[in-house]
Structure 1
Amino acid sequence: MRVTKFEHATLRIDLGGDTLVIDPGSFTSPLDDLSGLVGLVITHEHPDHWTPDHLDRILRDAPGTPVFAPAGVAAAATDYEITVVEPGDTVTVGRFTLRFFGGDHAIIHSSLPRVQNVGVLINDELYYPGDSYAVPEGVDVGTLAAPLGAPWLKIGEAMDFVLAVAPRRAFGVHDIPLSVIGRDMHRSRLKWATEQNGGEFFELDPGDSLDL
């Protein structure tokens, strides 16, 4: 299984000719070569994780692709057919088994409404939490896509999240708000946290891939 990081929070996972896309949002360039697309996951409704333009383009190139997301996305994306998923759900699409965790977006500020968020575990190997610190309890996570920077993110809390998950491998996502210096600082902190449990941290830039 290969995971490719794109700008900000978008991931592409490829396995045996099947492709899964996660969170194609407003900071991500258009995706191409989606002939093997079997599923799309949207973790929550914020535009940096999905846009109508991205969905229109993806579904035009790969019509009929199932879209999995929490109810908040379905309410915001009424022009699309969304399969609603909740924490505890498991679905299989193509070569991918998806298990969902969490339930809530991390708090940005008390004045802002809370939204639903699901983390997704792919093939019991790759865990992507969306905008949350939801730990997949009882799961031995092989690879963690860990958030690096966000209005809701404090780097100490992100480090504690990595320490709690204790993955064998990790890389940073959700990084567009950071300067190059800030991104590298946060990467170094998550690298330390990953290594405390014997894991390895990988620095992936947009377009970089990691074989799992």
Structure 2
Amino acid sequence: MKVTKQEHSCLIIESAGKTLIVDPGSFTTLLVGMSDVVAIVITHEHQDHWTADQLERILDRNPDARIFGPAGVAAAASGFAVDVVKGGDTVQIEPFTLRFFGGRHAVIHSSIPVVDNVGVLIDDELYYAGDSFTIPEGVEVPTLAVPAGAPWLKIGEVMDYVTAVAPRRSFPVHEMVLSVAGKAMSNARIQAATEVGGGEFFPLEPGESIDL
């Protein structure tokens, strides 16, 4: 499995000649020329995790690609056919196995509605919780995509989350809201928390890949 990080929370996962895209949102450069896409996972409805433009460009070249997301995504993206998933669901879409966890976005503020959110474990290898700190209980997480900066988190919570999951590998996502200095600080904290459990941190930048 090859994972290529894009800006913010967008991931491109390639395996056996097929492609899975996660959270192609407004902070991610428009994805063009994507081929062999079998599925798109949208963790929740906020626009930094999906846009109609992104979906249209992907589906134009991959009309049979399926979209998976929670009920809130299906409502927000009503112009698209979204297969609704929730925590506890498992979907097989060759060559990928997708296991979903959680159900709600982390609280930003009491005045802001809490929306549906799912985490996804891909091929029992890569776990990404969307905008949440949902831990997949009873499941080993070899590789963790770690949220690095957002209005719903503070770095101490991120460190506690990484320590609790104890992945063998981690890399940062959701960091387009950070300055250069803030990103460096966040990376250092995520690295320290990963190393507590004996794992290795990979400070991936947009366009960089890791083979799992």
Q: Same fold (TM over 0.5)?
A: yes
Aligned equivalent of 2:47: 47
Letter in structure 1 aligned against 2:82: I
Aligned equivalent of 1:7: 7
Aligned equivalent of 2:149: 149
Matches within 5 A, 1:1-212: 1-212=1-212
Letter in structure 1 aligned against 2:159: M
More displaced 10-residue stretch of structure 1: 150-159 or 28-37: 28-37
Letter in structure 2 aligned against 1:180: V
Q: Displacement, 1:23?
A: 0.2
Structure 1 stretches (4+) deviating beyond 2 angstroms? none
Q: Displacement, 1:196?
A: 0.4
Q: Do 2:169 and 2:199's aligned partners in 1 also have CA atoms closer than 8 Å?
A: yes
Deviations 1:56-95 (A, max 9, x none): 1111111121000000000111111000000000001121
Secondary structure of the residue that 2:103 maps to in structure 1?
strand
CA distance in 2, matches of 1:102, 1:156: 21
CA distance in 2, matches of 1:150, 1:120: 19
CA distance in 2, matches of 1:48, 1:182: 19
Q: Displacement, 1:24?
A: 0.2
Q: Displacement, 1:115?
A: 0.1
CA distance in 2, matches of 1:210, 1:31: 19
Letter in structure 2 aligned against 1:65: A
Q: Displacement, 1:33?
A: 3.6
Letter in structure 2 aligned against 1:188: A
Secondary structure of the residue that 1:131 maps to in structure 2?
coil
Letter in structure 1 aligned against 2:44: H
* TM-score, structure 1 normalization: 0.99
CA distance in 2, matches of 1:149, 1:174: 6
Percent of residue pairs identical: 62
Letter in structure 2 aligned against 1:106: A
CA distance in 2, matches of 1:116, 1:165: 22
Q: May I ask how many residue pairs the two structures share in their alignment?
A: 212
Instruction: Name structure 1 gaps, 5 residues minimum.
Output: none
Q: Do 2:144 and 2:170's aligned partners in 1 also have CA atoms closer than 8 Å?
A: yes
Letter in structure 2 aligned against 1:58: I
Secondary structure of the residue that 1:146 maps to in structure 2?
strand
Alignment RMSD (CA, Å): 0.6
Secondary structure of the residue that 1:107 maps to in structure 2?
coil
CA distance in 2, matches of 1:32, 1:143: 27
